[in-house]
A = this chain, B = another copy of it.
């Protein structure tokens, strides 16, 4: 199990938090995803044999937010 903190731009409210967490949690292999609006980031725990870091980024970007690389 891998832990990764991803910096994300543009999340401003509870709806944004839900969108990003929901999109990540829907991915097979993601165990948990918790957004911090204050820190503009999301902490993701995932199984790296099932889902890749770039798939996580893609899921976030698909919700309309920018991943800071």
Contact = CB atoms under 8 A, between A and B. Distances in A.
A15 interface: yes
> How often does this chain occur in the complex, in copies?
2
A15 B19 CA distance: 9
Nearest to A11: B13
A16 interface: yes
Interface residues on A, range: under 10
Q: By CB atoms of chain B within 10 A, which of A10, A12, A16, A19 has the most?
A: A12
Interface in A1-48: 10, 12-16, 19
A66 to B, nearest CB: 13
Interface of A: 10, 12-16, 19, 64
